[in-house]
Amino acid sequence: MIDWREIDTVLLDMDGTLLDLHFDSHFWLEHLPRRYVELHQLDQASQEALKARIMGEQGTLNWYSLAYWSRELNVDIVALKREVQHLIGLRSDALDFLTWLKQAHPRVVLATNADRASLALKLPLTGLENYLDAIISSEDVGRCERGASLLVCTSRTRAI
């Protein structure tokens, strides 16, 4: 059992931990490929090629960078995300957990691979920032990782 009185800082991820992944999955694998084909007047094969291109960037900073995708695809990714922003939502247990953390008083830090443009879209719609003491993006540290390595990099570059 965790003794929460001994915990002074809690590090949380955003997508898939606090937020449901439905929005991101729908956007990157359905909405963007469909809208890209429409906007550039391309055929269906181009839609599948784009999905493969997106998946080819998985695990890189580009994968998470809305500026990269806007530039590469010549589309306004943020505007396209706004078309389906109603799908952005908290996981069913996230708000209860965040409320509990606020009452338990550890410092709560969001350490996410999401870039600042994604945060600017998602945070106001979810109210997450009301529960966070600090937010660190992989864009801030110039590196994206899963697990502890982003957090180690983060703690070395910023006082969290």
Give CA–CA dist 115/117, Å, rounded: 6
Is 139 exposed, middle or buried, given 0-12, 13-18 or 19+ CB atoms closer than 10 A?
Answer: buried
Q: Is the pLDDT of residue 7 over 50?
A: yes
Q: Is the pLDDT of residue 115 over 50?
A: yes
How much is the pTM?
0.85
pLDDT in tens, 40-58: 999 999 999 999 999 999 8
Residues of the chain with CATH 3.40.50.1000: 4-20+89-157
Q: What percent of the chain has pLDDT over 70?
A: 90
Give CA–CA dist 34/68, Å, rounded: 19
Pick the CATH number of 4-20+89-157 from 3.50.50.60, 3.40.640.10, 3.10.20.30, 3.40.50.1000: 3.40.50.1000
Write out the DSSP string of 4-66: GGG--EEEE-SBTTTB-SHHHHHIIIIIHHHHHHHHHT--HHHHHHHHHHHHHTTTSHHHH-H
Give CA–CA dist 40/139, Å, rounded: 29
Task: Grade residue 146 by pLDDT with cuts at 50, 70 and 90.
Answer: low
**In whole angstroms, what separates CA 77 from the centre of its chain?**
14
pLDDT in tens, 55-67: 999 888 998 999 9
Q: What percent of the chain has pLDDT over 90?
A: 77
Task: Grade residue 2 by pLDDT with cuts at 50, 70 and 90.
Answer: confident
pLDDT in tens, 73-91: 999 999 999 999 999 999 9
Task: Grade residue 154 by pLDDT with cuts at 50, 70 and 90.
Answer: very low
Element (H, E) at 107: strand 107-112
